[in-house]
Structure 1
Amino acid sequence: MPDAVVIGAGPNGLIAANVLADAGWSVEVLEAQDEPGGAVRSDRGVDRDFVTDVFSAFYPLAAASPVLHALHLEREGLRWSHAPAVLAHPLADGRCAVLSRDLDVTAAGLDSFAPGDGASWREWHALWQRVGKSLLGCLFTPFPPVRAGARLAARLGPAGALRFARTALLPTRTMGEEQFAGEGGRLLLAGNALHADLSPESAGSGIFGWLMSMLGQDVGFPVPVGGAGMLTTALVGRLERRGGTVRCGRRVSGVVVRSGRAVGVRTADGEEIPARRAVLAAVPAPLLYEHMLSPGDLPAGLLRQLGHFQWDFSTFKVDWALDGPVPWTAFPARQAGTVHLADGVDDLTRFAAQLATRHVPDRPFALFGQMTTADPTRSPAGTESAWAYTHVPQVIKGDAGDEGITGSWDAGEQNTMADRIEASVERYAPGFRALIRGRRILAPPALQGLDAALQGGALNAGTTALHQQLVFRPVPGLGRPETPIRGLYLASASAHPGGAVHGAPGANAARAAMSLPPVSALASRIQRSLADA
């Protein structure tokens, strides 16, 4: 009988298992898919000579995460690589905003949009240097982050803390307009905010865009050498060396609860696997509470609140094997690992408005990844392993374009949407389509089929909007990894601080499971009380 059973071998599940194993716990990880990794996997499915990251690809939060640093995955062979430039945002008129790990290069590029904007960027970066470590501490520890929050407040002082709180609530459009006279800095902030499901007008989108921009400035957007799957390989190898076990092809259908306590799990084939001390669920909150538990084991208020749980937007992704580098008209984009494609902040707002009205965008904002530029091992010399993704509504009401996409995502609709994305790339890189050697389309149903945590193609296990963050994530009152059931912990991105590959939800759940039994029991009772309120 293992001390703990972890449901899901994605990054959060594997990190939770490693933290427990480091404390001497025996751990068994159960994964529904035939291989571990969740949304951190790579393959050669587009072309046998090309390594393609199936889901996530660039990892700024992993590079900044104290959780991952503490695992010393370099000892497991993990190595990181960077593109010459972090990010580029070309415009149709030939200008290009560039984010570089060299502060002088970033600032000089922004000055080309408006003199003085480089100095403004330096001001933002100076603030990041003062508070960034404490801010990340708030994100990577359970809510409320008492110690990290106190350090952040001390660094800012009373007046500074008040100004920072206002800044943290700003929409990215407002933040950009207050800080930058030209379009370049505004584009970097807004484009980074749209890595999540936040529009330029969403409250709190500014701080997310600033966080991603400053991470890019400081640690870049690194990639694992050899493919995203190398990060998973390192996590699995580390766990197994410490006695942990990962069993793939073992879908968990339910959590076994007796006398209000989780005592094990039940697999789809009927096997019951006991857990001596804890069950950690690295799955989205609705899957755990609505499908793996009996309603009688949960407060009625929790199930009512889950009825208001909001997923983030769906994702539509295309992978390519290209016979040559992408011929961007704006030369700086040829050096960037990540390229944002939208013709200005107004174009981003237009895109977000179409999503809000449940229409498939006619001019999709695309995040474009140049993986061979970031890691030359990904494909033969002179070629490029590339991908792009965009957001579409979870439930589609109509198509803002002329092709009538309905959301059935049959072969015709998949090809239509992929062609729409390629047309967008072609506007900024004429001749792109002529380079395509192979193409793979991953529509929302395909993404969910490859990883059940990506419900409807949602990447973040729930919206990043303020109303479902902090103490409101996944529902009001459940801002910690403890659940209303003793011995059961939520270890997925549905828990604070949310999505991206940084390991905080998994590590927080592991630490909660290792807390003294009276503390754990009290936390579960509080969660039950809040959930039933």
Structure 2
Amino acid sequence: MADAVVIGAGPNGLVAANLLADQGWSVEVLEAQDRPGGAVYSDRGVHPDFVNDVFSSFYPLAAASPVIDGLRLEDEGLRWTHAPQVLAHPLADGRCAVIDRDLDVTAEGLDELCPGDGRSWRAQVGTWDRVGHDLLQALFTTMPPVRALAGLGLKLRGGGALRLARSMLLPVRRLGEEEFDGEGARLLLAGNALHADLGPESAIGGGFGWLMSMLGQQFGFPVPVGGAVGLTDALVSRLERRGGVIRCGEPVTRIVVERGRAVAVRTAGGDTVPARRAVLADVSAPALYGDLIAPEHLPSQVLDDMRRFQWDFATFKVDWALDSAVPWKAGAASGAGTVHLADSVDDLTRFAAQIAMGQIPDKPFLLVGQMTTADPTRSPAGTESAWAYTHLPRVVRGDAGDTGLTGSWDAAEREIMADRMEQRVEQFAPGFRARVLSRRVLSPPTLQSEDANLSEGALNGGTTALHQQAVFRPIPGTGRPETPVRGLYLASSSAHPGGGVHGAPGANAARAALGIRRSFADVMSLVQRTLTRGSGAAAVGDR
């Protein structure tokens, strides 16, 4: 009998299992797919000479995560690499906004686009330098983040803290308008906000876009050498060296609860796998509370709250093997690992509005990955392993384009949508389509079939919107991994702090299982004492 059973061998499940094993617990991980890694996986399925990341690719949150850093995965062979530039957003007139890890390069480029915006970008980075460490600590720990709040309290007086909070809560359109005069810098922020489901008018879109932009400035958007699977291989190697066991092809169908405590899980094959101390579930909240736990073991309020759980956008992705580099009109985009494609912030608003109305966008906002640019091992010299994804409505009510897509995502519709995305790239890179050797199309149902946590291609385990963050994630409560069932912990991105490959939900669940926590009263008392003292002031937007 293992001390802990972990359901799901995605990055959060593997992080949780590693941390438990570090404390001497015996751990068994059960994974439904025939491989570990969840959405951190790569293959040669597009072309035998090309490595393509099937799901996630760039990992700024992993680079910033104290959880990942503490695992010392480099000792397991993990190596990181960077594209020459972090992120590019070509403009309609052929110019290009770029984030480079060299602040001077970023700022000078933004000044060329609009005089003064480079100075404003430096001011944002100055604010990040003062508060970024504590913000990341707050992001990556359970609610309430006591030590992080203590750190911020020492740096910010009440007025500075309120200004920082206001800026983080702003829609990204408003933050961009307040801090920058030109479209380039505003698009960098807004495009980063749409890595989640936060359109230009969404509350906290400014905070999320700013966070991702500052992570890119400080850490870059690194990738594992050889493919995303390198990160998974390192997590698996580390766990197995500590005695952990991973069983793939073992979907869990039920969590066994006795006298209010999780004591075992049952698999689709009929096995009962007991857990001496804890069960940690790296599955979506709807799967945990809707399928794995029988309703009689849950308070009626939890079941009622789960009816209101909101998923994030669906996703449609295309992988390519290209016989040469992408022929960008804006040459500055050629050196960026990640490229955002949208004409303007207004264009992003239109895109988000179409999704809100249930329409498949006619001019999809694209996130493009140039993987060989970031890691030359991904494909032969002179070629490019690339991908693009876009967001879609989860429930399709119509097509804003002229091809009559219905959201059935049969073979014909998959090809039509992939063509639409390629035509969008073509607008910014004429001749792109002629360079495609082969492609792979991943529609929302395909993404879900490959990883059940990616419901219709939802990337963040539930909406990133304010009403389902922190103490509201996944339902109103404490924002902690504990569940109403003793010994059962939610360890997926449906838990605080949400999506991204940073390991925090898994780490938080492992710490809770280990009993590393304070009483809520002690926590709030410390927070109140901390926030009443401190010196200095800083705010997002100080120029």
Q: Residue 173 of structure 1 aligns with which residue?
A: 173
After superposition, the C-alpha distances for 1:306-341 in whole angstroms (9 at most, x for unaligned) are 000000000000000000000001001000000000
Aligned residues of 2:314 and 2:391 also touching (Cα < 8 A): yes
Aligned residues of 1:264 and 1:272 also touching (Cα < 8 A): yes
Distance in 2, matches of 1:516 and 1:368, equals: 40
After superposition, the C-alpha distances for 1:177-211 in whole angstroms (9 at most, x for unaligned) are 00001111101100000000001000110000000
Aligned residues of 1:329 and 1:428 also touching (Cα < 8 A): yes
Say which SS state the counterpart of residue 511 (structure 2) adopts: helix
The alpha-carbon deviation at position 518 of structure 1 amounts to: 11
Q: Residue 129 of structure 2 aligns with which residue?
A: 129
Aligned residues of 2:322 and 2:436 also touching (Cα < 8 A): yes
The alpha-carbon deviation at position 357 of structure 1 amounts to: 0.5
Aligned residues of 2:324 and 2:435 also touching (Cα < 8 A): yes
State how many pairs are aligned.
522
Q: Residue 336 of structure 1 aligns with which residue?
A: 336
The alpha-carbon deviation at position 153 of structure 1 amounts to: 2.3
Unmatched tracts of structure 2, length 5 or more: 524-543
Say which SS state the counterpart of residue 181 (structure 1) adopts: coil
Distance in 2, matches of 1:260 and 1:96, equals: 58
Aligned residues of 1:92 and 1:427 also touching (Cα < 8 A): no
After superposition, the C-alpha distances for 1:70-122 in whole angstroms (9 at most, x for unaligned) are 00000000000000000000022101100100101100111112111100000
Distance in 2, matches of 1:518 and 1:309, equals: 28
Distance in 2, matches of 1:248 and 1:169, equals: 41
Q: Establish whether residue 63 from structure 1 lines up as the match of residue 60 from structure 2.
A: no
Say which SS state the counterpart of residue 275 (structure 1) adopts: strand
Q: Residue 192 of structure 1 aligns with which residue?
A: 192
Aligned residues of 2:511 and 2:517 also touching (Cα < 8 A): no
The within-5 A match list for 1:57-456 is: 57-456=57-456
Aligned residues of 2:199 and 2:349 also touching (Cα < 8 A): yes
After superposition, the C-alpha distances for 1:101-160 in whole angstroms (9 at most, x for unaligned) are 010110011111211110000000000000000000000000111111121122122221
Q: Residue 473 of structure 2 aligns with which residue?
A: 473
Distance in 1, matches of 2:213 and 2:123, equals: 13
Distance in 2, matches of 1:518 and 1:53, equals: 40
Aligned-partner residue type, residue 123 of structure 2: E
The alpha-carbon deviation at position 229 of structure 1 amounts to: 0.3
Aligned residues of 1:192 and 1:209 also touching (Cα < 8 A): yes
- Runs (4 or more) in structure 1 with deviation over 4 Å come to 516-520
After superposition, the C-alpha distances for 1:391-417 in whole angstroms (9 at most, x for unaligned) are 000000100001111110001110110
Unmatched tracts of structure 1, length 5 or more: 524-533
Aligned residues of 2:36 and 2:232 also touching (Cα < 8 A): yes
Q: Whose relative contact order is higher, 1 or 2, with alpha carbons under 8 Å and at least 6 apart?
A: 2
Aligned residues of 2:91 and 2:184 also touching (Cα < 8 A): no
After superposition, the C-alpha distances for 1:14-57 in whole angstroms (9 at most, x for unaligned) are 00000000011000000000000000000000001000000000
Aligned residues of 2:309 and 2:474 also touching (Cα < 8 A): yes
Aligned-residue RMSD, C-alpha: 1.3
Say which SS state the counterpart of residue 113 (structure 2) adopts: coil
Q: Establish whether residue 511 from structure 1 lines up as the match of residue 500 from structure 2.
A: no
Distance in 1, matches of 2:517 and 2:197, equals: 38
Aligned-partner residue type, residue 255 of structure 1: I
The alpha-carbon deviation at position 519 of structure 1 amounts to: 7.1
Aligned residues of 1:368 and 1:388 also touching (Cα < 8 A): yes
The alpha-carbon deviation at position 379 of structure 1 amounts to: 0.2
Aligned-partner residue type, residue 385 of structure 1: S
Q: Establish whether residue 491 from structure 1 lines up as the match of residue 491 from structure 2.
A: yes
Aligned residues of 2:19 and 2:510 also touching (Cα < 8 A): yes
When normalised by structure 1's length, the TM-score is 0.97
Say which SS state the counterpart of residue 226 (structure 1) adopts: coil
Say which SS state the counterpart of residue 456 (structure 1) adopts: helix
When normalised by structure 2's length, the TM-score is 0.95
